Structure formats: C-alpha cells, structure tokens
Amino acid sequence: MAKPVLMFDSLSCCEGCGLQVLNCETDLLPILEKADIGRFREASDGDVDHYNVAFVEGSIVTPHDIERIQEIRAKTDLLVALGACATHGGVNFLKNFQDPDDVAKYVYGDKRAWFPHVAARPLKAEVRVDAEIPGCPINPREFLEAATCLLTGKPFKLPNYPVCVPCKLADNVCLWHKGAACLGVVTRAGCDPYLCPSAGHKCIGCRGLVDKPNTQAAKDVMAEFGLTVDDILREFRLFQGIYKEVAQEA
Ligand code: SF4
Ligand code: SF4
Ligand code: SF4
C-alpha cells in the first residue's frame, strides 16, 4: 500500500519553523518510515500532484501568498499551520500597525511597485486549516507528536494550560518579581524544554493564548505590579494576531 504523502512549504517568513523540522534529524526517521515527502521547499526540489498532509509555515503578505495557499489547499487532504506566522500572522503582523505604503517605501524604495503586498494575515484568514502547531519557532517535539498523530489517525491536542504551569514545576522565581511583565500567565504552554523564563527571559506570547485565559487573574497580577491592560497589550504587539485576541478578551 502506498504511503501517505507529506509536504512542507513556506509563505512569507524566516523559514525557521521548517528548519526546526529538519533539526529533528534522526528523530524524523520513524515519520519517514510511515510517509513519503512529496515536497519540502527548504530541503529539496520537486513536487507531486496530491498530498495527504501539508505543513505550511509563514503568513500571507502578498497576493502570491494568497494564490499559493489556495493551490496548496486544493492539493491536500489536511492542512497544518506551522508556527506563529501561519497560526496568527506572527511578526509580519507588525507591519499592519503602520501605513502600508510607508512600509513598502521604507523597504523597497522607488521599486515598491514591483512588490505588491496585502495586510499580513494567518493562513486561516484565506483557507480552511485543519490543525495548528504554534510557536516562534515551533517546538520540534510537538511537530513530531502532531505528525505521528495525523499519520496514525489519533487526535492531536495542544496543551490547554498556561506557561506558568511548567514554569512553576521548574521551580523558577516568577519574573514579575524581577520587574518583567511576563506573558506566561495567559500564553499556551508546550514550549518546554525551551521555556524562556527558565533562561531568565520573559514569555512574549509566541504560542498564543490558552483557550480560556484567566484574564481576571492576569489583571490582578498586573494591578499588583502597577500595570494596566493597555500596558500588557503593548507587550503582545510582537505577535499582533495574538494582540487582537487579547484585546477582545480585555
Ligand atoms: S513562526 Fe517565527 S520561526 Fe517560524 S517562520 Fe515565523 S518568524 Fe520564522
Ligand atoms: S508569569 Fe512568567 S515567570 Fe511568572 S510563573 Fe508565569 S511563566 Fe513563570
Ligand atoms: S515561554 Fe512564551 S515566548 Fe518563550 S517559547 Fe514559550 S510561549 Fe514562546
């Protein structure tokens, strides 16, 4: 029996999430025993007519990105958004805070007409997405788990508790007590063992919100440390799609 076919592609992004897949190295072998790779933009040439699972990183920033994601959607059974760019718009969303013509002028100067662009958006703004693997970049362990589940028909579920849980289990002193507005209170866990607070860095929300963030508890923490909801929303601007979610919750 033919193996299922996987595909990896990139829209506008740094391609760090595709690199994380390649960084799995020998851990990819069990996946490759169960599936063939029909296309992997970052690793090889070639393409096929149909994929069973397409993993796409990057956000939609150009008319070409829109055409490309529609082409991929038409050729695949399942579409998985890979990384914060694909799930929420990621860092590309920052351009949406500026006048789009100013941004194009700053980047492309008098050649800006050669580079048509649209407001940055995640994959789900244009096509149906069947699963999301969040993070900037993705956690390779979570990718392996998702790929195994999708290939074996098992449900793939993201953790639905905040980053504070593994942070506390790691015995970290909360960074709020060191003057940092850490977003782990409302951000979806799953990045460990690459947990930023364990390295002394505040969580900046790259994995998006848990399904039902405890916004009242978050507000209480902010009030205790003299910050307002607006202060914390500014922290979420790095991942602007997440900023929009939080703004609705606030
Ligand atoms: S989510 Fe982050 S690492 Fe992944 S492609 Fe986007 S910018 Fe790069
Ligand atoms: S707010 Fe940040 S530093 Fe404090 S417990 Fe939560 S994740 Fe850890
Ligand atoms: S701690 Fe926060 S910013 Fe760091 S990887 Fe995890 S979710 Fe992303």
> Using one digit for the tens of pLDDT, what is the confidence trace for 188-212?
999 988 899 999 999 999 998 888 8
pTM of structure: 0.91
Domains of the chain, start order: 5-152 (3.40.50.700), 164-249 (no CATH)
Ligand 1 pocket test target in 20, 85, 133 with most atoms within 8 Å of CB: 85
Residue bearing the bigger pLDDT, 18 or 193: 18
Q: What are the pLDDT digits (tens) for 110-167?
A: 999 999 999 999 999 999 999 999 999 999 999 999 999 999 999 999 999 999 999 9
pLDDT level of residue 31 (50, 70, 90 thresholds): very high
> 118, 1 in Cβ contact below 8 A?
no
| Closest ligand by atom to 186 CA | 2
User: What is the DSSP-derived secondary structure letter of residue 163?
Assistant: T
228: three-class secondary structure by DSSP: coil
Using the CB atoms, write b or e for 124-161: b if 16+ within 10 Å.
Answer: bbbbebebbbbbbbbbbbbbbbbbeebbeeeebebbee
Task: Give the least confident one: 70-74, 151-155, 243-247.
Answer: 243-247
User: What is the DSSP-derived secondary structure letter of residue 138?
Assistant: B
Separation of alpha carbons 66 and 47, rounded Å: 19
Q: Which of 143, 119, 198 is nearest to 17 (CA)?
A: 143
Q: Is 187 in the pocket of ligand 3 (CB under 6 A)?
A: yes
What mean pLDDT, rounded, does the chain reach? 90
Ligand 1 pocket test target in 15, 95, 132 with most atoms within 8 Å of CB: 15
